[in-house]
Structure 1
Amino acid sequence: MLPGRGTPLPFDSRQPFVDMIVHQVEKAIVGKRESIELAVIAFLCGGHMLLEDVPGVGKTMLVRALAKTTGVTFKRIQCTPDLLPSDVTGVSVFNQQTGRFEFRPGPIMAGILLADEMNRASPKTQSALLEAMEERQVTVDGETYRLPEPFMLLATQNPIEHEGTYPLPEAQLDRFLLKIRLGYPEERHEVEMLGRLSERSPLDDVKTVLLREEWVRLQQEARHVHIDEAVKQYIVRLTSATRTHKDVALGASPRASLGLMRAAQTKAFCSGRTYVVPDDVKSLAVAALAHRLVLQPEARYTGKTADSIVNQLLTAVSVPAAQTAAGGSR
């Protein structure tokens, strides 16, 4: 666990700690360090995360491994077309002995909720998550219930099979801090995976390295990482450029600017720095912005993607000078 529990960690102590989380997750997911590090950033940032990829590459395994490294409560829902909102949020049940309705909490009342194959849930059930994702609360029968602190939704979806699925609306996609893809492993990593899975589940080797209180404290400390005005302006120029791009019908929202800023602060925090540099922003821009863009039909027909447009803007938008971005003498 964290040294000096109960007191802030010096910045040079955090990099080994982040490596420890990544190391635990790598016991279950082989050869995907970059994706795992993005997941850890979303995790420590307290933002929701969407994993989109083809079946069988380890999306669910990544979420379960990441959740196991913490001491918070973890719940999972398997999304299907017949899943009801009350199956997620909970339901009020009449108690004949007391003559009153009592709230029976659903799986959403957990620190980490895995919504597996989220795009298979009906729009009505998907909408039940909107309030939880943004306001950390749910409303059932007119009563509002606060979610545990912290709360994080980790969702997976399959972009290949569209039969029986309901695409996530833009309002819901905008609430995900990062969208992560895993992709197929290299052959040597797949061979290593076969060796690990021959006798036991890879999750058996993943250990808890973070208590709930430590997770909350690290999230709070990450938000105190200095971000210079020049870097804030750079973030806004990036998001503003998506709104005026000729191939984009709907650009990134102000929520995207805020999410990119907090993710960049967390990346700097994990790297042991007390300030954000433009490279932090650039390395997270695709994961933080691309899933929020809606392309023009003609752009999609010509094979353009949201990822390629964000990468194009990263080249076109001017980057602040390193000394200015670091806050001068900081």
Structure 2
Amino acid sequence: MRPESEQELSRMVRDSVAPLRIQGGGTRDMCGPVAGAGAGAVLSTAGLSGITLYDAGALTLVVRAGTALADVDTALAREGQRLAFEPMDMRALLGTEGVPTVGGMVASNAAGPRRVQAGACRDSLIGVRFVDGTGAIVKNGGRVMKNVTGYDLVKLMAGSWGTLGVMTECAFKLLPAPETQATLRSAPLSAQDAVRVMSAALGTPYEVSGAAVGGDGCVCLRLEGFARQVAYRCAQLQAVLGGAWQVLDAPESVALWGKIRDVSEFAGRAGDVWRVSVAPSGAAALVARADCPVVMDWGGGLLWFLTPEGVDLRARLGAFAGHATLVRASQATRARIAVFPPQPAALAKIAQGLRMKFDPRGVLNPGIMA
């Protein structure tokens, strides 16, 4: 099923008699199977593509959900602009093919290393159009900031994985692309020392836009902006932090952060991949308890773990103030271990109520977040 218009999509959803699997480019296939009798027919948004409005002067973009992210990046680059949140490309990590799309990016609330400074996808999203489970076409937000009245469905749709509606159009606020960037890279450090250094760097006024540790244990700190400013901030940051630092120029820095963004360290390696969100102050303790390869991002607030196949990392870590998501595993492991962390009873009740409101027939990706 591949609708070419919002109206055709609306009819398809309204006339569906069995649960549907909503798909953009098919590159972020990390959820469980669709539940229900006769379930699994794929409803692709790939036919809903194209930029409908790009106002570079107002830093505003409106684009259909099936549009390839590469096309968006190309259009923005011509005007010296970008999506601030640096969405991750999951194809290498998950071994998927296809083309990442705007709808998939929003549905998963994708973000990369710059989230530590610029926020996630939902923080740049200012408007959405979508088709709910009854086939109704819904619009919320718009093309300027601070225009939301009533329920903020814009934020609700980001990260909903297609369970509340099939997105057809998204509006974003943009940021200018920097003139250049550079990265400071340390010698290998322990997890505890790495978190301390990253926290110190992020606490300075030097506008660090990325703070991560790769599989080699080296702290990487990214600075972006005008060339003279970046050079000055690099020097000042090294003086504040002390120690020996290697300075990577713009091409090296861009390549490095692409690998960190996409967790290339674990691509093609055997084992399951987990994504753990935690306060940086608790990161070192979790790294020690996990006892497996790790990539640290967001100053220690995001941990990627590579575990042996079938290991329940949540059980290994025990109780902690955060949550763990199973990003890559076999279907057998996903059937045994929930992909998403269990919700507290009160939150689960609210989530179920929202699904009943937006998809009372249960036709949009039912069960994939169970």
Same fold (TM over 0.5): no
**Whose strand fraction is larger, Structure 1's or Structure 2's?**
2
Q: Point out which structure has higher relative CO (alpha carbons under 8 A, 6+ apart).
A: 1
Q: Taking structure 2 as the reference length, what is the TM-score of the superposition?
A: 0.23
Q: Taking structure 1 as the reference length, what is the TM-score of the superposition?
A: 0.25
